[in-house]
Amino acid sequence: MITIRRIQLGEADLFKRLRLTALQDAPYAFSATYDAALQRSAESWREQADRTAQGSDRTTFIAFANDEPIGMAALYRLEDKGDAGELLQVWVTSEYRGTSVARNLMDAIFQWASENHFRTIIAGVANVNSRALKFYANYGFSVIESSSPNDAGGVYLAKEVQRG
């Protein structure tokens, strides 16, 4: 059985394990690197996980299959645009790619965003990640801009949040 839930206070070890696995599995999909993540302190992992476990500015959702974590997605409110958020750390294990897990994570993110007064969600995707680009397009995201000269070759997409 697949379940999706928001990360809870005190789950920094779960968050760290899932994030490190994602960075090893799909290094092309993230701006952070596995090696850099390994250098982070336990306190920084705890702070990041706990900040997304509560409040209305950040969230992390985790997908589970029979209590085993199989995916994650985070949303952080953009400080300069209070009603917009950036989608981050989206990842699903290879065994569950192509199933409903990514869609269920997005549904949870958008439901939470609606409840917390977001109007727009923005996602940055590397050009080489064609599978993610196709997923976001199928989910209703539209390209808003191509990468800047300083960017590593990404595309920015956006989708409006529907009010409940």
- pLDDT of 127 reads 86
- pLDDT of 150 reads 47
The β-bridge partners of 61 are 6, 73
Q: b/e for 34-68, b at 16 or more Cβ within 10 A?
A: eeebeeeeeeebbebbbbbbeeebbbbbbbebeee
Going from N- to C-terminal start, the domains of the chain cover: 2-160
Q: Tell me, what DSSP letter sits at residue 94?
A: G
**How many Å apart are CA 63 and CA 70, to the nearest integer?**
6
| Residue 78 CB-density burial (10 A; 0-12 exposed, 13-18 middle, 19+ buried) | middle
CATH superfamily of the 2-160 domain:
Gcn5-related N-acetyltransferase (GNAT) (3.40.630.30)
pLDDT tens per residue across span 4-45: 999 999 999 999 999 999 999 999 999 899 999 999 999 999
- pLDDT of 102 reads 97
- pLDDT of 82 reads 79
**How many Å apart are CA 30 and CA 23, to the nearest integer?**
7
- pLDDT of 31 reads 87
Residue numbers of the chain with a pLDDT score lower than 70: 146-152, 164
The token duo for 96 is 């569950």
